[in-house]
Amino acid sequence: MAASDLILVTGASGFVGKWCVVKLLEKGYRVRGTVRSDAKAALVRKTVAGLVGEAAAGRLELVKADILDDAGWPEAMAGVTAVMHVATIIRGDEPKDPNIVIRPAVEGTERVLRMAHAAGIRRVILTSSIATVGYGHGQTSGRRVYDETYFTNLEAMRWTWAYCVGKTRAERAAWDYARANGMELTTIHPGAIIGPALDEDASISLGMVSGLLDNSTPALPSNGFSIIDVRDVADMHVAALEHKEAIGQRYLATAEYMPFPKVAAVVQELYPDRKVVQRTVPDWIIKLVAMFGGPARQIINDIGNEKVFDGRKGEALMGHPYISARDSIRDTAESVIRFGLKLQIS
């Protein structure tokens, strides 16, 4: 890729999307981002200009396009060299209608690839998830390490959740479409994404930290997360774009496995004057509650076992060490306080 190339970032107003826009502009690219409203476009412009300066922000164009509608996509793809498909829907609860999450993931991915192909664009970087990697493999206890060779088996899962279903089906559809149409696809698979918010329009995933800071998290599940900083996720997207060897590859973006109680301990250490919850919910209660759906359904597959995702391949592609979980928690907390964010994960 040349610095003069025009890169399309879908979901440019999202947590990961904004950081991808910033990283691309910092490297000299021209960027076109899709947003769903003029209000979101205005906030993105203001935020990005504040970080990279007005001159660099002048290389950013924002257009309206919805992943559930064909309108606007031919224009969004015009003159584009490569696409970063980042747009997705993340919820803190499990919706009664799973298609609220599944449909945008699958149909949205298919639409973006179809529109890119129609515009003659071959190179696509797709934001996937560890949800498409480490599930449906029969792990109910103990520690297991997963790498990019694993693919979630939805048919073998006792407990599915909408995000996992949507992301897994979307990725499978993307690989099928790419192979059938000669497209150059790379997928990036982040774990639990935290890190500094750039403005008040932040991801629900930061609720992991904000709920501890404001004591709105009543108790902690015992399970852990493979944490990744949003800045590393964005760097990995750019690295994939710039390295031909990334074509046809999947990359885990996972820095460190950390149990939720340890996250709470780090927040308490960083903010000793705050009362950070330390009590945990017994696993059997979470398993019971998960039978009825709700937020517990999203973590039930991680209760009683330790899923570790080996992110070394992604780290090597990125070309620098991952930001540590502790540093990421610290920077998340600072931004949560700075913007007054109150993000409920349940």
CATH number at residue 130: 3.40.50.720
Phi, psi angles (nearest 5°) of residue 148? -70, -10
* Encoded amino acid at 156, one letter: A
Query: Is pLDDT above 60 for 111?
Result: yes
d(CA 21, CA 27): 10
**Per-residue confidence (pLDDT) for residue 262, from 0 to 100:** 95
d(CA 126, CA 233): 12
d(CA 287, CA 303): 8
**Per-residue confidence (pLDDT) for residue 294, from 0 to 100:** 67
Query: Is pLDDT above 60 for 179?
Result: yes
Asked whether residue 15 is domain-assigned, the answer is yes
**Per-residue confidence (pLDDT) for residue 101, from 0 to 100:** 93
Q: What would the mean pLDDT of 40-46 be, rounded to a whole number? A: 94
Give CA separation, 226 vs 94, 166, 253, 254, 317, in Å: 20, 20, 9, 6, 18
Asked whether residue 264 is domain-assigned, the answer is no
175/341: higher pLDDT: 175
* Encoded amino acid at 145, one letter: V
| Mean of all residue pLDDT scores within the chain | 92
Query: Is pLDDT above 90 for 198?
Result: yes
Percent of the chain with pLDDT strictly greater than 70 = 96
Asked whether residue 275 is domain-assigned, the answer is no
Asked whether residue 220 is domain-assigned, the answer is no
Q: What would the mean pLDDT of 318-328 be, rounded to a whole number? A: 97
Provide the residue range defining the domain that includes 129: 6-198+227-255+307-323
Asked whether residue 68 is domain-assigned, the answer is yes
219/198: higher pLDDT: 198
Asked whether residue 216 is domain-assigned, the answer is no
| Structural domain count, the chain | 1
Q: What would the mean pLDDT of 328-334 be, rounded to a whole number? A: 96
Phi, psi angles (nearest 5°) of residue 48? -65, -45
Residue of 338, 332, 178, 335 whose CA lies nearest to 247: 178
Summarised one tens digit per residue, pLDDT across range 135-166 is 889 878 888 999 999 999 999 988 888 999 99
How far does the chain reach from its first CA to its final CA, in angstroms? Answer: 41
Q: What would the mean pLDDT of 276-284 be, rounded to a whole number? A: 81
CB 196 within 8 Å of CB 339: no
The beta strand positions in the chain, using DSSP E, are 6-10, 30-35, 60-64, 82-85, 123-127, 142-146, 184-190, 192-194, 224-229, 250-253, 256-259, 305-309
d(CA 275, CA 268): 7
Asked whether residue 187 is domain-assigned, the answer is yes
CB 48 within 8 Å of CB 22: yes
Asked whether residue 311 is domain-assigned, the answer is yes
Residue of 309, 295, 189 whose CA lies nearest to 258: 309
Predicted TM-score of the model (pTM): 0.94
Q: Give the pair of three-digit tokens for residue 12.
A: 């440019």
Query: Is pLDDT above 90 for 218?
Result: no
Neighbouring residues of 78: CB distance < 8 A, sequence distance ≥ 6: 119
